[in-house]
Amino acid sequence: MAASSTSSPDYLAPFRIEPVFTARVWGFRDLRPWYDRPTEAQPIGEVWLTGDDCIVATGPHSGEKLGSLFSTHCSALLGAQAFAGGSPLLIKVIFAKEKLSVQVHPDDKMAQKYGQPRGKTECWYVLAADPGAQVAAGLKPGTTLANLQQGIRDGTLENSLSVLSVHAGDMVFVDAGTVHAIWPGPILLETQQNSDITYRMYDYGRPRELHLEKSLEAVRFDTRAGKIAPRQSNGRTVLIDVEYFRVERIPVSGTISSQQLRANEKPGLAYLFAASGAGRLSGPGFGPIDLATRGIVAVPASSPEFVLHDLVRPEGALDLIRITPNWPAESR
């Protein structure tokens, strides 16, 4: 697809993004020690790291919303992979004090049928988990439409879900059409298509809208959802590499160059998230950029080369999560 803008500069340097703290009825009123964010208002359930309303925190575009930057500098951000849809990925941290709804997301085709640009395929990287933590991803074999309808009516829908025990370091894939649920216990780094379409099937009696007709239309009874086994490649752990996104874990002790971070990939947008530890990016043409614990930095496709310094030695390495868009074959 064509780029959405021709006004991009020759390059955009890396920049830090300020998160948006999003209220959810099932969230926490205090996110410490993860974020210094107590609240007396509505509980916070999601920290949006790359949402369109997130603010660019460093560089010449400081103060601008990320969505606006994508609309005017899409080619500089995404390079040859620029497309008309703007920002391709939404990255969040999920904090569930109570159960989320049992829900499902549409695929691209269904979303576009109802006037939305894209559906929602996602994955969950488990940053931390209480003993016995579980999530649900998919339906038990043999589940039928009648089972789902009955479970929604009588409150037993959970009985049809495929339940997974999760631990820190696990990666769970949730492709569009998968009936799923997040329960209290894990802290999740969620990477997804930049869409917030959710069809609730069951919500534990909360007074929120359900989307029964569309949710049943969106359901796939056989999906690829489940845990993804990590694999080693070029000195990093590839946590998942599917359509829409690739997520890697890269330990940084000392320094690492942007070329080493990219390995053999062609230049393209990358997000650098500090799961633990802290770092600093420095390079020609831009001032040092600090990457705080649980912070995120965008590295545009047109970025100059740089070096990432680990700031926590000798206590431990920066636990870096690198996230990049990955286009389906039909979009390339």
Longest dimension (CA), the chain: 62
Those residues with Cβ within 8 angstroms of residue 289's Cβ, 6 or more apart along the chain or in another chain: 14, 15, 16, 58, 280, 281, 282, 297
> Residue 279 and residue 318: Cα distance in Å, rounded?
7
Q: 139: closest CA among 227, 229, 220, 228? A: 220
> Residue 196 and residue 217: Cα distance in Å, rounded?
17
pLDDT computed for residue 2 by the predictor = 35
pLDDT computed for residue 316 by the predictor = 66
**pTM: predicted TM-score of the whole model, two decimal places:** 0.94
Residue 314: asked if its preceding bond is cis (omega within 30°), the reply is: yes
Backbone φ and ψ for 36, nearest 5 degrees, come out as -80, 75
pLDDT computed for residue 313 by the predictor = 62
Residues that are catalytic: 200
pLDDT computed for residue 214 by the predictor = 98
pLDDT computed for residue 93 by the predictor = 98
The alpha carbon of residue 284 and the mean position of all alpha carbons in its chain are separated, in whole angstroms, by 30
**Cα four-point dihedral sign 50, 261, 58, 9:** negative
Average pLDDT of each block of 10 consecutive residues along the chain (332 residues)? Answer: 41 96 97 93 96 97 97 90 78 98 98 96 98 98 97 97 98 98 98 96 96 98 97 94 97 94 89 97 94 97 95 78 82 44
Contact call for residues 216 and 110 (beta carbons, < 8 A)? no
CA distances (Å), 66 to each of 58, 177, 270, 290, in order? 12, 28, 14, 18
Bridge-based pairing of strands 55-56 and 15-18 is antiparallel
What are 218's two structure tokens? 């969106």
What are 46's two structure tokens? 């999601």
pLDDT computed for residue 267 by the predictor = 84
Tokens 């509980």 -> residue: 43
pLDDT computed for residue 235 by the predictor = 86
Could you give the domains of the chain? 20-53+88-227 (2.60.120.10), 231-331 (2.60.120.10)
The alpha carbon of residue 134 and the mean position of all alpha carbons in its chain are separated, in whole angstroms, by 19
pLDDT computed for residue 329 by the predictor = 52
